[in-house]
Amino acid sequence: MNGEHRYRVTVDWTGNTGTGTSSYKAYSRDHLIRAEGKPDVPGSSDPAFRGDAARWNPEDMLVASLSACHKLWYLHFCSAEGVTVVAYRDEAEGVMVEDRERGGAFAQVTLRPEVTILAGDDAGLAAELHERAHHFCFIANSVNFPVRCEPRIVRAG
């Protein structure tokens, strides 16, 4: 694995309600996240910061990115090691703490994947592969806060 990869997105603010940012309450936090060839993602800020709860906020997307990256590496390692995953669901949670000086920062993210494997497969190996996935996760390697993983392995049938 070598090389540099680039990711291009466009974020278009759609929240000008007529007077721009003339005051804190005068504008919407709504925006569209776009990338060529992909569906738009409707975004906003967290409702605590006057955002639309029906839209994705940056904090949701960060937690989702950590979860998805871990899952992709995990599935790769399971396939390479002969562990057949038949279902995977992660109920991930992030904790962000507000800070007057910097605005806020994530304190941690906890991944809670529930993985279902074939009845005869090695549950111990399936559990161990989460550590390997975490080690290789591009997103987890890019953040400055702890990312914990609390996996649960279930056998099918």
Q: What is the mean pLDDT of the chain?
A: 95
Long-range contacts, 15-21 (Cβ 8 Å, 24+): none
**pLDDT higher than threshold 80 for residue 2:** no
- CA 67: distance to chain centroid? 5
Residues whose CB falls within 8 Å of the CB of residue 23, separated by 6 or more in sequence, listed in order: none
Tell me what pLDDT residue 77 has: 97
Tens of pLDDT, residues 53-99 = 999 999 999 999 999 999 999 999 999 999 999 999 999 999 999 99
Residue 111 amino acid letter:
L
Contact 77, 117 (CB under 8 A): no
**pLDDT higher than threshold 90 for residue 1:** no
* Domains of the chain and CATH, by start: 10-49 (no CATH), 58-155 (3.30.300.20)
